Amino acid sequence: MRGCFLIACLLALLLGCGRQKPASPTAAEATPGGPAAAASEAELAALLSDLTQRVRKFAVEQRRAPKTLKELAAQGYLGSVPVAPAGKRFAINNDLKVYLAER
């Protein structure tokens, strides 16, 4: 019984390690503007996520939502307010999520 199980596992391993289809283009290659644009989009997404976490931490500890990111910086939850991309500004929605809004 144990031998059959071992053979079945080895067979599954060998079948799973067969040739694979070529990978589809990555997000960086598929994004207009190429890898640099995808990297900056990824960095922006990471920044927005980090800012959202800081806003939510503030809200839990202070029992109220901050009005702006400047308030987070003034209270020590943020070293300094990051610069938003041209024509945009950081905003906080009712779900305490930071997003980019038009100026």
pLDDT, tens digit, 9 for 90 and up, residues 20-69: 555 555 544 454 556 666 769 999 999 999 999 999 999 999 999 999 99
Looking at every residue in the chain, the average pLDDT score rounds to 81
Determine phi and psi for 16, rounding to 5 degrees: -75, -25
Distance CA 89, CA 85 (A): 7
- 């999520």: which residue's tokens? 97
Q: What is the pLDDT of residue 49?
A: 97
pTM (two decimals): 0.64
